């Protein structure tokens, strides 16, 4: 999967999390925010070329 699709996926998860928060689904929105944060962090780490510690 290319970086563009990964960015779109991360943005989509984040947007759905915001909509879930507005509608009152706090557990679902928290899970989606966490998933988007982890996904974003993995993407940034891979782009920078870190192998981990």
User: What is the pLDDT, as a whole number, of residue 6?
Assistant: 82
User: What is the pLDDT, as a whole number, of residue 1?
Assistant: 59
User: What is the pLDDT, as a whole number, of residue 7?
Assistant: 83
User: What is the pLDDT, as a whole number, of residue 36?
Assistant: 85
User: Along the 53 residues of the chain, how does pLDDT read in single tens digits?
Assistant: 577 888 888 888 888 888 888 998 888 889 888 888 888 887 777 777 766 55
Q: What is the 3-state secondary structure (H, E, C) of the chain?
A: CCHHHHHHHHHHHHHHHHHHHHHCCHHHHHHHHHHHHHHHHHHHHHHHCCCCC
End-to-end CA distance of the chain: 25
pTM of the entire structure? Answer: 0.68
Rounded Cα distance between 42 and 47, Å, is 9
């Amino acid at each position: 999967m290319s970086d563009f699709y990964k960015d779109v996926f991360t943005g989509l998860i984040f947007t759905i999390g915001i909509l879930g928060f507005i509608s009152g689904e706090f557990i679902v929105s928290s899970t989606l925010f966490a998933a988007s944060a982890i996904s974003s962090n993995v993407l940034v780490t891979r782009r920078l070329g870190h192998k981990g510690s």
